[in-house]
């Protein structure tokens, strides 16, 4: 998509019922896909309020109207569950601000789609694990998200990105990207290409279990990185799950696995020095503990057993996606330097290798936590 112009941004702002005097409208956050702005308004002597405004990436999300139907449906449902539990729905779920015409989005004169959310005050999201407690709290929050939506009618959700975590289908897209080699880059990344081809069994495994009915399809977040949880400044607890663009039917082990891929790594997602990249078993155990607790008994025994496989699959899939995008000319993920997607791909594959070396330990950790959770239920 073309960069957002100031004129375009002001047009969008003018079609939402924001109150007060606009003081600033600056780029905000570290997301790869949408364009996000933090709007600050001055309302007389009452002080300042903040609002999040986003231009949705219609190249990625080709049906923004259906996407917003998903988000309004899920957030309305979450508000009800949170109120039933005596929580604060203004802070514990995203709250969509309708456009002036009452729709949950505004379509501008260029055909781009915009939406607005209430800003969640006194809370922060983190790009990397700065404090192990934050990672644990994010696990509890994502587990709780799974628990609260356990009875949501998954069949009513639109598939906002077809086959988003269909690892087997993404493997076929990868092979096609290698064959077409539109940028002439394949010759320089033969090692990475071979790594993907050698791990075809990882791409197939969970897909086959789903087809056999051995694991259930659930309402899942599908982008469960640490930075999609808001951590409360006062309590240090994860209070709200954000970035709901990819909420759709999926696998709970995928949600768990993406968190491990991102949060249990000892290095940044685009670290060039691969000697710094490994999967921390301490963080893996901490997150698994929080996620199992947050799910509150909603996971099956088979799902819990497969949590390590979820971590390995999501890490492999993400690396494969970064490599595919690199081969196709960096058309999906935002890049900020030459070879950025290749750097990202290499960190993911290094993590997969590290998990394979620690496979026994990962499975033993999950067995221990599963036994502890069962004892709590009995007691």
Q: Is 19 exposed, middle or buried (0-12, 13-18, 19+ CB in 10 A)?
A: exposed
Q: Domain of 38?
A: 6-121
User: Does residue 294 lie within any of the structural domains?
Assistant: yes
Q: How would you write the pLDDT of the chain (379 residues) with one tens digit per residue? A: 899 999 999 999 999 999 999 999 999 987 778 999 999 999 988 899 999 999 999 988 999 999 999 999 999 999 999 999 999 999 999 999 999 999 999 999 999 999 999 999 999 998 777 788 888 999 999 999 999 998 898 878 999 988 888 999 999 999 999 999 999 999 999 999 999 999 999 999 999 999 999 998 899 999 998 889 999 999 999 999 999 999 999 999 999 999 999 889 999 999 999 999 999 999 999 999 999 999 999 999 999 999 999 999 999 999 999 999 999 999 988 899 999 999 999 999 999 999 999 999 999 999 999 998 887 766 5
pLDDT at site 378: 62
Q: Do 194 and 314 fall within a single domain?
A: yes
pLDDT in tens, 169-205: 999 999 999 999 999 999 999 999 999 999 999 999 9
What is the rounded distance in angstroms from the CA atom of residue 291 to the CA atom of residue 296? 9
Q: Do 98 and 218 fall within a single domain?
A: no
pLDDT at site 258: 92
- The CATH number covering residue 85 comes to 3.30.200
Identify the bridge partners of residue 240 per DSSP, sorted by sequence position. Answer: 230
Q: Do 106 and 160 fall within a single domain?
A: no
Count of domains observed in the chain: 2
DSSP string, 34-64: SEEEEEEEE-GGG-EEEEEEEE--TTTSS-H
Q: Do 145 and 62 fall within a single domain?
A: no
pLDDT at site 251: 93
Whole-structure pTM value: 0.88
- The CATH number covering residue 335 comes to 3.90.1200.10
pLDDT in tens, 80-104: 999 999 999 999 999 999 999 999 9
């Amino acid at each position: 998509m073309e960069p957002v112009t100031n004129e375009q941004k002001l047009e969008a702002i003018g079609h939402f019922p924001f109150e007060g005097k606009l003081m600033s409208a600056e780029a905000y956050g570290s997301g790869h896909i949408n364009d996000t702005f933090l709007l600050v308004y001055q309302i007389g002597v009452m002080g300042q309020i903040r609002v999040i405004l986003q231009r949705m990436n219609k190249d990625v999300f080709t049906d923004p109207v259906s996407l917003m139907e998903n988000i309004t449906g899920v957030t309305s449902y979450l508000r009800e569950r949170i109120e039933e539990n005596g929580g604060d729905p203004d802070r514990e779920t995203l709250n969509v601000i309708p456009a002036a015409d009452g729709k949950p989005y505004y379509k501008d004169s260029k055909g781009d789609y915009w939406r607005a959310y209430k800003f969640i005050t006194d809370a922060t999201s983190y790009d990397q694990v700065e404090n192990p407690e934050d990672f644990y709290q994010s696990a509890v929050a994502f587990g709780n998200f799974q628990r609260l939506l356990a009875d949501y009618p998954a069949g009513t959700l639109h598939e906002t990105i077809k086959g988003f975590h269909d690892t087997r289908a993404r493997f076929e897209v990868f092979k096609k990207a290698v064959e077409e080699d539109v940028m002439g880059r394949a010759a320089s990344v033969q090692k990475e290409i071979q790594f993907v081809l050698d791990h075809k069994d990882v791409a197939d495994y969970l897909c086959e279990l789903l087809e056999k009915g051995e694991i259930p399809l659930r309402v899942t977040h599908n982008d469960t990185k640490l930075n999609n949880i808001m951590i409360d400044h006062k309590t240090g607890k994860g209070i709200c799950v954000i970035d709901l663009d990819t909420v759709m039917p999926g696998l709970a082990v995928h949600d768990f696995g993406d968190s491990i891929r991102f949060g249990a790594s000892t290095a940044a997602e685009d670290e060039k020095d691969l000697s710094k990249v490994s999967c921390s078993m301490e963080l893996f155990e901490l997150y698994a503990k929080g996620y199992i607790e947050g799910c509150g008994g909603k996971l099956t025994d088979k799902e819990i057993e497969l949590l390590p496989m979820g971590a390995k699959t999501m890490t492999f899939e993400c690396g494969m996606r970064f490599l595919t995008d690199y081969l196709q000319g960096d058309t999906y993920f935002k890049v900020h330097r030459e070879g950025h997607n290749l750097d990202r791909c290499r960190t993911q594959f290094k993590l997969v290798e590290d998990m394979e070396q620690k496979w026994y330990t990962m499975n033993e950790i999950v067995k221990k936590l599963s036994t502890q959770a069962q004892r709590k239920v009995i007691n």
